With several copies, the nearest count.
Chain A
Amino acid sequence: MALSFAADSVSLSARQLLCERDDRVLFENLDLDVRNGDLLQLAGPNGAGKTTLLRLLAGLNRDYEGDLLWHAEPLHDCFAEYAANRVYLGHLAAIKRALTPIENLRWLMSPWQNAGLELHEDDLWQALAEVQLGGFEDTPCNQLSAGQQRRVGLSRLALVPAPLWILDEPFTALDVEGVSWLEERIQRQVAAGGAVIITSHHALQGIPSLRRLELGVRATEGRS
Chain B
Amino acid sequence: MWQWLVRLYHRLGSPKWFYELTGKWIIWLALLSGVGMLVGVVMGLLFAPADYQQGDSFRIIYIHVPAAIIAQSGYMIMAVSGAIFLIWRMKMAAWVARAVAPLGASFCLIALFTGAIWGKPTWGTWWVWDARLTSMLILLFLYFGVMALQRAIESEDASHKAGAILSLVGLVNIPIIKYSVDWWNTLHQPATLKLTERPPMHPDMLIPLLIMIVATYLLFALLVILRTRNEILWHERKRSWIQELPEVAARIKGGQR
Contacts and interface: CB of A to CB of B under 8 A. Distances in A.
The judgment on whether A and B are partners is yes
A97 interface: yes
Contact of A224 (B154, B156, B235, B238): B238
Contact of A97 (B154, B156, B237, B238): B154
Given A23-B235, A23-B238, A224-B238, A142 B157 contact: no
Contacts of B237: 23
Interface string A76-115: 0000000000000000000001100000000000000000
B186 to A, nearest CB: 47
B190 to A, nearest CB: 51
B156 A22 contact: yes
A63 interface: yes
A63 B154 contact: no
A22 B159 CA distance: 13
Interface string A56-69: 00000001000000
Contacts of A98: 154
A97 B153 CA distance: 12
Contacts of B154: 97-98, 140, 142
A69 B154 CA distance: 30
A63 B157 contact: yes
Contacts of B157: 63
Contacts of A97: 154
Contacts of A224: 238
Contacts of A140: 154
Interface string B152-166: 001011000000000
Contacts of B238: 23, 224
Nearest to B237: A23
Chain A contact residues (Cβ within 8 angstroms of B): what range?
A: under 10
Contacts of B235: 23
Nearest to B239: A23
Contacts of A63: 157
Contacts, number: 10
Interface string A8-31: 000000000000001100000000
Nearest to B155: A142
A51 to B, nearest CB: 14
Nearest to A143: B154
A27 B118 CA distance: 60
A23 B237 CA distance: 9
A224 B242 CA distance: 15
A224 B154 CA distance: 21
B214 to A, nearest CB: 39
A97 B152 CA distance: 13
B236 to A, nearest CB: 9
A224 B237 CA distance: 11
A65 B235 CA distance: 18
Contacts of A23: 235, 237-238
B131 to A, nearest CB: 41
A142 B157 CA distance: 14
A22 B235 CA distance: 9
Nearest to B257: A224
Interface string B139-171: 000000000000000101100000000000000
Interface string A119-150: 00000000000000000000010100000000
Contacts of A142: 154
A93 to B, nearest CB: 17
Contacts of B156: 22
Contacts of A22: 156
A142 B235 CA distance: 18
A135 to B, nearest CB: 15
Interface string B74-100: 000000000000000000000000000
A97 B155 CA distance: 12
Interface of A: 22-23, 63, 97-98, 140, 142, 224
Given A23-B235, A97-B154, A98-B154, 7 more contacts: A22-B156, A23-B237, A23-B238, A63-B157, A140-B154, A142-B154, A224-B238
10 contacts: A22-B156, A23-B235, A23-B237, A23-B238, A63-B157, A97-B154, A98-B154, A140-B154, A142-B154, A224-B238
